Amino acid sequence: MRAWADAGIETVDVSVNLASPSFLQSDIVDRLVGIVQRAGVAPQQFVLELTESLLMVDSERTIGVLDRLREQGFGLSLDDFGTGYSSLSYLKRFPLDELKIDRSFVTDASGDSKDAAIVLSIIELGRRFGMRVVAEGVETGEQASFLLVNGCPVQQGFLFSRPLPAEDFSVLLRSGHGHDFRCQLTAAG
């Protein structure tokens, strides 16, 4: 990210999945802050993705860690919303910035009334809680249009790009198309 900024390439936020073992380490906040400082990038450029199961582990401690991460500037996202424990109390209790609609609902949302109802409800919940809503697994123009028309302009999936190594993503950013959609970087990036 620092190299992209130094080269004058407009950068995008990068989402990072946090695994339970990493998140439960007592020094997780200090470690993440140290990593971004050493890299010369801002925490505001990162969205940390958490699963519902991770939030279930010692919720009071988890809230404290999330509060500290937000204070440092990291964005916080609830990944695969609707597929796990999905308690609505998460939206109320945890300091989250983003909801990610699981691909299993997006796949048939434009053709299945039940999936459509779930997707529309998640979009509305996110809106009412002041959260950005991201649709995962968008693979067709029909899905993208359905989501856009219904208030979910932030989408990711194979329709836009397969996951890319950092160098290929750099080419995409240099071409000027990187800001049009959200891509996922592979671990190689």
What's the pLDDT score for residue 7?
A: 76
Domain ranges of the chain: 97-158
Indicate the pLDDT class of residue 72, thresholds 50, 70 and 90: very high
* Cβ atoms of residues 177 and 169 within 8 Å: no
pLDDT at residue number 64: 92
pLDDT at 125 over 60: yes
User: Average pLDDT, whole number, for the chain?
Assistant: 85
| Helix H or strand E encompassing 11 | none
Segment 54-83 mean pLDDT: 90
> What is the percentage of the chain residues whose pLDDT exceeds 90?
52
44 vs 92: CA distance, rounded Å: 22
Mean pLDDT of all residues in 52-57: 81
DSSP letter, residue 9:
P
pLDDT in tens, 137-154: 999 999 999 999 999 999
pLDDT tens, 91-101? 888 999 999 99
Residue 12 identity: V
In terms of C-beta density within 10 A (0-12 exposed, 13-18 middle, 19 or more buried), how is residue 155 classed?
buried
Angstrom distance (rounded) from CA 25 to CA 165? 28
